[in-house]
Amino acid sequence: MQPSNRVAIITGASRGLGAVIARVLARRGYDLVVGARNRDPLEEAAASFARWGSRVAAVDGDVADAAARARLVSAARELGGLDVLVNNASELGAIGPLIDFDVPRLGRIFPVNVGAPLALAQLAAPLLAERGGLIVNITSDAALGAYPGWGPYGASKAALELLTRTLATELRGRGVSAAIVDPGNMRTRMHQEAFPLEDISDRPQPEVTEPFWNWLFDQTPAEISGERFAAQAEDARWLQRV
């Protein structure tokens, strides 16, 4: 029997890319569990997603906190199950040369960008397995580019990419798929924080990725598992394998 509703968890969903992904899923008829650290903007975003008729559970909290992750998965269970997990929440950290980087700050960047997505995937896997679900981990071209100043953030995203590919292999037998998405440069708060004195108005808004997300969620999860996608790639399928 097919499930009566589709359910997605999206972290970092109160603004920017996460809000765009949540809005796409709401328009496609998904019920949503949306997470972010700050309650007020999260509730405002959740109300906007509900305009498409979706049930929306807003779960505020730091994704690096185990209790917050447990609440996200519990909310999905209460909505009936889980089809899609989008690990979008990220920590940028300081931009600057590695030789000057305050190494203890890795203790924040890696738990948020690597540990939290893995831990949330572990919690969500039983629900995802029931529906042949998909894990989507958000990466960056900094994972590949070795950009000066972006070392810690890029290293965390490189680690996330390897973990995602490994999850895709290990979970195949359980019917759970995992994919990596690089959304490309966008005009977001995090990107502005990386360039505090620069005008980033030439970057596109996160909404530029909407065609890609609609394409991605049309795919059979098992057929895209283990792949890396570039949301702003210029070919007809919005697809780039690396």
Query: How far, in whole angstroms, is CA 218 from its chain's centroid?
Result: 17
Q: Are 180 and 165 in contact (CB under 8 A)?
A: yes
Query: Mind telling me the catalytic residues?
Result: 153
Structural domains in the chain, CATH included, are: 6-230 (3.40.50.720)
| Residue whose C-alpha is closest to residue 165's, from 241, 81, 109 | 241
Cβ neighbours of residue 99 closer than 8 Å, sequence gap 6 or more: none
Rounded to whole angstroms, how far apart are CA atoms 110 and 105?
A: 9
List pLDDT tens digits, range 91-144.
Answer: 988 888 999 999 998 999 999 999 999 999 999 999 999 999 999 999 999 999
Confidence of residue 233 (pLDDT cuts 50, 70, 90): confident
Query: Across the chain, what does the average pLDDT equal?
Result: 90
The 3-state DSSP class for residue 45 equals helix
The 3-state DSSP class for residue 226 equals coil
